[in-house]
Amino acid sequence: MAGLTLNHVYKRYDNSGKKKKVKNDFAVKDLNLVCEQGEFVALLGPSGCGKTTTLRMVAGLEEITQGEIYIGDRLVNNLHPKDRNIGLAFEDYAMYPPLNVYGNVAFNLRAKKVDKAEIDRRVREIAPLMQIDDILDKMPVKLSGGQKQRVNIARAIIREPELLLMDEPLSHLDGKARQAMRTEIKRLINKIKCTTVYVTHDQLEAMSLADKIAIINFGVLQQFGTPAEVYDDPVNEFVASFIGEPPMNILETTIIKKDGMFFFTFKDSNLQIAVPRRYYSVVSDGFRCKMGVRPMDVMIGGENSHGTPEEIATFENLGDERRIGIHVGDILLMLITEDEKRYKRGDIVKLEVREEKTHLFDINTGDRIREKN
C-alpha cells in the first residue's frame, strides 16, 4: 500500500500531425494532487476534462509531458506499466472469453509464473470478498454486468497492487444494478483498504464513494476536498453547479443599499434577498456578482412571512418531496420542500431564502467571493 503524489503534472498531445493547431492543447495543466495511503479519491469532471488522461498517466499508458508522479516515494515517470505495481479496472476491460472466471482472475499471476498453490490460495482468498466464489467455474459470457465488474475488480486486486485505478467501472450498468454495485465497491474497497483512484463523470458516484474528490475542468484542477467540502464550500461557480442534484441555483444579481442594509436584486424580478452581514465587507451599492443558493435552502414562507410574493411556474410532486420552480427573470429558480401542501401553477407564494447559505461568485471569472476576516 502506498499513497500517490502528482507534482506539477502536464500533458500535451502532439498535434504536429494535424493541420489545425489546437490553441489550448494541454489536456492536463499543472496538476498537483496528494492521495494519502488507503484513501479513495475520485477524479470528477465532464467528459473531455482530462480526468481519464490523468489516470492513464498514473497507470503508465500515457507519457507524461512534464512533472512527476510518485507512487509511495517511488518516482514512476519512466517505469513500464507492469513495473508500477498497480491494478486496473476499466469501463470495458474485456475478459478473456475462453477462460472461466477462475482463469481470468488467476491470469495475471500465471503470467508472472507464480506457484500454482499460491495462485489457488490467493484466488480462494479474494473470491468470497468479491462475492464471486460461487461463479468461479462460469464462463464470462454467462455473467451479468454486475458480476463481470466484480470479476474485473478481483483481477485488478489479486496482484496485491499498491494502487488501484478504476475508470468509470459502472457506466455500463443501469439504474438499480448501478446503485447496488456502487454500494458493493464502496464496501469492498473499505475492506481491502487499498489506495484507489476512481474516474467518473457522475457526481453522485463521486459523492457516494470517495473520501476525497478532485474536480477537474479543462485539464485544470478546480477543487480537491471531501464530499462535504465540495458540496458546502465550493471554490467557484463550476464546482457549485456541478455538485448536487438538482444543481445550485445561480443567478446574476445587482446589490443595492437600502436603509443601511444590502439586498440582492435581480433583473426583471421583484425578488429581494438580504445580503448576509458577513459579506458587508466585500459588497457595495451597485455591486454586480452572481448569487448561488441550493434548492434546499429556498423555502416557501408561511402567512406571516416577509418574503417576496412570487408566482409558481412549475410544481412537481415527487412523493417524499416537492420541487417548485419560480421564474426569476428568465431563470427558473428551483426549490425543494418536504411540506405536504399541494400547490399548482399560478399560485402566489412568499419566497424565503436562507440568507446565510448564499454564496457569491465573481460575475466574470466565476470565482467564489469570500468575506474578509
Which cell goes with 159? 496482484
320 part of the interface to other proteins, by CB under 8 A: yes
What angle (nearest 5°) sits at the alpha carbon of residue 218, between those of residues 217 and 224?
Answer: 35
The closest of 242, 260, 233, 266 to 358, measured between CA atoms, is 233
Q: Which stretch binds other proteins (CB under 8 A): 147-155, 264-272, 332-340, 350-358?
A: 332-340
From 7, 208, 254, 337, residue interacting with other proteins (rule: CB under 8 A): 208
User: Using N-to-C axis directions, what is the helix angle for 175-192 and 116-130, rounded to 10°?
Assistant: 130
Residue nearer to other proteins on the CB measure, 123 or 333 = 333
The closest of 152, 145, 212, 215 to 188, measured between CA atoms, is 152
- Quickly count: other Cβ atoms within 10 Å of residue 157's Cβ: 21
181 part of the interface to other proteins, by CB under 8 A: no
Residues 6+ apart with CB under 8 A from 225: 212, 213, 233
Q: Which stretch binds other proteins (CB under 8 A): 53-61, 96-104, 311-319, 356-364?
A: 311-319
- Quickly count: other Cβ atoms within 10 Å of residue 219's Cβ: 23
Q: Which stretch binds other proteins (CB under 8 A): 25-33, 114-122, 290-298, 352-360?
A: 290-298
CA distances from residue 252 to 135, 213, 264, 293, 342 in whole angstroms, order as listed = 56, 28, 9, 12, 30
Decide if 23 contacts 16 (C-beta within 8 A): no
> Distance between CA 192 and CA 178 in Å, rounded?
21
330 part of the interface to other proteins, by CB under 8 A: no
319 part of the interface to other proteins, by CB under 8 A: yes
Q: Which stretch binds other proteins (CB under 8 A): 93-101, 142-150, 335-343, 349-357?
A: 335-343
Decide if 280 contacts 287 (C-beta within 8 A): no
Residue nearer to other proteins on the CB measure, 168 or 283 = 168
Q: Which stretch binds other proteins (CB under 8 A): 66-74, 129-137, 254-262, 338-346?
A: 338-346
> Distance between CA 253 and CA 296 in Å, rounded?
20
> Distance between CA 35 and CA 71 in Å, rounded?
10
Residue nearer to other proteins on the CB measure, 30 or 91 = 91
Whole-angstrom distance between the N-terminal and C-terminal Cα of the chain? 41
234 part of the interface to other proteins, by CB under 8 A: no
According to DSSP, the β-strands at 322-328 and 195-200 are unpaired
Q: Which stretch binds other proteins (CB under 8 A): 15-23, 34-42, 140-148, 329-337?
A: 329-337
296 part of the interface to other proteins, by CB under 8 A: yes
342 part of the interface to other proteins, by CB under 8 A: yes
From 22, 118, 193, 246, residue interacting with other proteins (rule: CB under 8 A): 246
244 part of the interface to other proteins, by CB under 8 A: yes
How many residues bind other proteins, per CB under 8 A?
Answer: 39
17 part of the interface to other proteins, by CB under 8 A: no
23 part of the interface to other proteins, by CB under 8 A: no
Decide if 69 contacts 145 (C-beta within 8 A): no
325 part of the interface to other proteins, by CB under 8 A: yes
Residue nearer to other proteins on the CB measure, 246 or 302 = 246
From 20, 338, 372, 373, residue interacting with other proteins (rule: CB under 8 A): 338
Q: Which residue is it, cell 425578488?
A: 271
> Distance between CA 125 and CA 133 in Å, rounded?
9
From 74, 172, 257, 323, residue interacting with other proteins (rule: CB under 8 A): 323
> Distance between CA 93 and CA 112 in Å, rounded?
20
Minimal distance in Å, beta carbon 344 to other proteins?
6
> Distance between CA 182 and CA 170 in Å, rounded?
8
Minimal distance in Å, beta carbon 249 to other proteins?
12
Site string for other proteins, 101-140 (x = CB under 8 A): ----------------------------------------
Footprint of other proteins (CB under 8 A): 179, 182-183, 186-187, 190, 202, 204, 207-208, 226-228, 231-232, 244-247, 294-296, 313-320, 323, 325, 332, 334, 336, 338, 342, 344-345
